[in-house]
Structure 1
């Protein structure tokens, strides 16, 4: 039974043929229709309806131009895209099997040399457009099939086939669209809402607010050009000829900029000063509303951007959590796409299609900002409760360097200074290769760990006998009598020998350490 891809087609064990230039490369065209030029609500609705029918060219060009012309929209989309790209990304095995680890190691070497940040930036274009594709060319390098060329395929080159529920790529040879082969492209989809993928991009929502905003900008510029200027009225006699009327009109218009004009003495120009009521606040408020609505559409909140009103810290934390939720969703979706359409083809082409279930996982490591003070208080409380906390964990969580040998350490005011033995133990992990007392003490620490392991074995039988008497006893007096009778039968000779050997070895370690520090040859 053949293994199928995400579209239900059989997976090939060989990469797409690349003897000639890949048909999915070289598609980017410099020609644009610039749909924003003279855009009206009627024209915008027509463009969106074309995309609803599966033809994305004009809509894609419109969205590109919107982001190019509007600084606020560009910033919002960049914030959303770069948040995912800026994370630490790791390649992890699918499971703990040796085979999965081997596949992950092989893919990790390829991933490290890959321009994966640029690849992610191209794929995250789907946030605005709803879909984004990157064409791949596979070549054999060092015995493995690897993707060596990546090129973004703009959404303007895509047509959605509603019957196949797939995006086709328009080429010169196939203007109605070609279906890419398995492993030939990486297709990332973003779904801001349920329904057709041609309507899934965030730009569908922001397009209307963009239109309203720039209508207001145009009116605001006109208002700023005329604000404060007086009315200029030209008066002429009814018998005045057309040429004289045209000259009067030109003079009235030029008074606004040149403050000069030539007219007949039979005509008159009257300057009317206007009461300056109101101002540009209405335009400013409408533009702020448009910016705020676009921010809500892209980031889900406003307090983490410059478009929001100031609020309390608690409200700010809620808005930050909303933004983190979006980042987590974007990261998970991008990781799934990369595993499905990059890691799985890599495994299929190099190790066989029956191994694609073991394809490695590509994860973005998402860490929320930590409240260091709260964490320190929690650790202090846990320590008071007797919970053992490794020092290495504390140093790692708070980004603290381990103290070096003989380095002074900070002490809480009023707290006891550590004993020399404790201070030595703190510095052993990160100290330079040590000699003498440090070396000997390290030996004792290791000896202690071995002694505990051996001691647990030596105590097993005596401890079982003691526990048996405890379970059978009827009370404290009965238990006391049972333990007195049992004591001669307990065999602790092995434990005694272990203690004797441990003490002897510790003494020898101390003597050797003393000799090393004194540079005495043994």
Structure 2
């Protein structure tokens, strides 16, 4: 710690010319690497209604350079399953609104030094300076966080930052663009280590894979288990429930069309073809007209098919799919299943589980920002020699039971000085800003209370005694002398007590107003030790 920052990239002309593609600063003005054309969006057409065998083939094909098909399946699932889209949207919004902070580098237990803080503040200004462009589909910082959070569930998601060189020489990201899945995948027949690679052409069937250029992409890869990332994408486990949702809805709509109105049954005399034709036409119109007229002797019955519709297999499929979606994406929520216990206590448990899951998604996003995005920003302006990188994480304040903290501090003696502690720590513990030196402090001034026998300086007045108890009998001279001695002692004790109380009040540890008023009332009533 404590090392000075390296020279700016705009000052390293020789180094940039020698290696123009090593960092962003060398080729930032050449534009983006991936530039999808308008006509290419037709390549993303994917059938929204698939048979189970087609879904199985898509999931299996992810291991054989067909990662883009799996990604298209996930997009179709989100597009046609409202509950899935809603759950993912909740996660994205929570990640967007998380308290993101850029922190300077520091060893464990230490605080960042001035140079680390300066670099962190500069990176923070750059990050929050990103602007979205909805016309071109470009994302600002908040949109970037949303897209990276989607990568947690999609298994793979790639974004390309767009850079520009400012007038002051800084190279900064202005936005990010989500890269369509046809532009990346895993090589299937090539030698070498297995890794996610870039296909600049986006041809979907290619062997022209290359490694991602350093600092030019943000790559989110996540797996629901320890298998290969191509077949461990979390959303794969919901593919079967997606089929249940779309087919359950289709079957349910067909059932409603067939049996949504009472089934009609009529009889007619044998051989009466004319009556049969008239009866058929009349019954066909009953669904929209609600009336009918038949010849005498015709028998019409209405069959009630809605009994027991609450336990239909189609409805159960829809309910099961939505519950599994909620539990998988959001943990446990009251939108899934309440069970037999009380809703209030169960809701608190479910919200706690949901918050833990959201915190995990934000940690996933923070890892990409800390180890990919921030190093790219620093490399573009200071080169790759900076080891003490800032970090960016979502930091939530821990919930505190303020009453329990105050009770514990009082029991331990932190408030009366029995157990000395650092004052700054005590202020921070209770979330109260510590007053700066010379600051005007707010203290409520108590109204002055006159105490018999006590002067303004808190000392007993000579020859003064507290009032005698009303209704008492006359005393002898010896009794009066003894009483004067007792009252003088009581006055000294009272003065000492008042002084102690004033000190406690000055330290902000005691409100003496109520205590003083009570003492004065007791004194005026004559209930003092000397009168007993």
Q: Distance in 2 between matches of 1:119 and 1:135?
A: 10
1:109-508 alignment, distance < 5 Å: 109-114=125-130, 115-141=140-166, 142-155=168-181, 157-161=183-187, 164-169=194-199, 171=201, 176=206, 178-179=209-210, 180-225=212-257, 226-227=259-260, 229-232=262-265, 252-259=283-290, 270-274=300-304, 277-282=307-312, 283-303=314-334, 305=335, 307-309=337-339, 311=341, 319-355=350-386, 357-383=387-413, 386-388=418-420, 405=441, 407-408=443-444, 419-426=501-508
The yes-or-no answer on 1:108 pairing with 2:120 is: no
Residues in 2 aligned to 1:370 and 1:383: alpha-carbon distance in whole angstroms: 20
Contact 2:162 2:177 in 1 (8 A): no
Partner of 2:95: 84
**C-alpha deviations, 1:203-244, integer Å up to 9, x for none?**
212222122123223333344442450334577978969xx9
Distance across 2 between alignment mates of 1:392 and 1:248: 92
Instruction: Structure 2: give runs of 5+ residues left out of the alignment.
Output: 1-19, 107-111, 131-139, 447-497, 510-532
1:248 positional shift: 7.2
Shift of 1:260: 7.2
DSSP-derived class of the 1:231 partner: strand
- After superposition, give the CA deviation of every residue in 1:245-294 in whole Å (9 maximum; x if it has no partner): 9997666444323457999x9x9885443475312233444433222211
Give 1:33 deviation, angstroms: 2.2
Cα separation, 2, equivalents of 1:391 and 1:235: 98
| Alpha-carbon spacing, 1:199–1:41, altered in 2? closer, same or farther (3 Å) | same
Judged with a 3 Å threshold, the aligned counterparts in structure 2 of structure 1 residues 93 and 398 are, in CA distance, closer, same or farther, namely: closer
Q: Residues 299, 166 of structure 1: CA spacing in aligned structure 2 closer, same or farther, 3 A cutoff?
A: same
Q: Is 1:291–1:307's contact at 8 Å kept on the other side of the alignment?
A: no
Q: Which residue of 1 aligns with 2:530?
A: none
Please give the per-residue CA displacement for 1:13-54, whole angstroms capped at 9, x wherever unaligned: 454634444132346754342422x32222222222233323
Paired with 1:27 and 1:380, the residues of 2 have a C-alpha distance of 68
Pick aligned residue for 2:57 from 46, 51, 64: 46
Distance across 1 between alignment mates of 2:354 and 2:144: 23
Deviation at 1:91, TM superposition (A): 1.5
| 1:88 positional shift | 1.4
Kindly state the Cα deviation for residue 361 of structure 1 after the two structures are TM-superposed. Answer: 1.3
The reply to whether residue 70 of structure 1 matches residue 86 of structure 2 is: no
- The answer on whether the counterparts of 2:198 and 2:209 sit within 8 Å (CA) in structure 1 is yes
Q: 1:124 to 1:186 in 2, by over 3 A?
A: same
Aligned residues of 1:91 and 1:361 also touching (Cα < 8 A): yes
**Shift of residue 166, structure 1, vs aligned partner:** 0.7
**C-alpha contact 1:130 1:190 (8 A) present in aligned 2:** yes
* 1:245/1:394 CA distance change after superposition, 3 Å: farther
* Count of residues paired in the alignment: 408
Distance 1:111 1:94, change over 3 A: same
CA contact (8 A) 1:123 1:132 kept: yes
Asked whether the equivalents of residues 268 and 276 of structure 2 are also in contact (C-alpha less than 8 Å), the reply is no
- The structure-2 alpha-carbon separation of the partners of 1:45 and 1:145, relative to structure 1 and needing over 3 Å to count, comes to same
Of the structure 1 ranges 382-391 and 208-217, higher mean CA displacement relative to structure 2 is found in: 382-391
Please report the TM-score for the alignment, with normalisation by the length of structure 1: 0.65
- Output the TM-score relative to the length of structure 2: 0.64
Change (3 A) 1:106 1:274: closer
* Alignment CA distance shift 1:245-1:183 (3 Å): farther
Q: Secondary structure at the match of 1:291?
A: helix
How far does residue 130 in structure 1 lie from its aligned partner after superposition?
0.9
Taking the aligned partners of 2:445 and 2:237, their CA distance within structure 1 comes to: 58
Q: Secondary structure at the match of 1:188?
A: strand
CA distance in 2, matches of 1:328, 1:20: 38
Compared with structure 1, are the counterparts of its residues 383 and 230 closer, same or farther at alpha carbon in structure 2 (3 Å cutoff)? same
Whether the aligned pair in 2 keeps the contact of 1:11 and 1:353 (CA below 8 Å) is no
For residue 339 of structure 1, give the secondary structure of its aligned residue in structure 2.
helix
2:288 aligned counterpart, secondary structure: coil
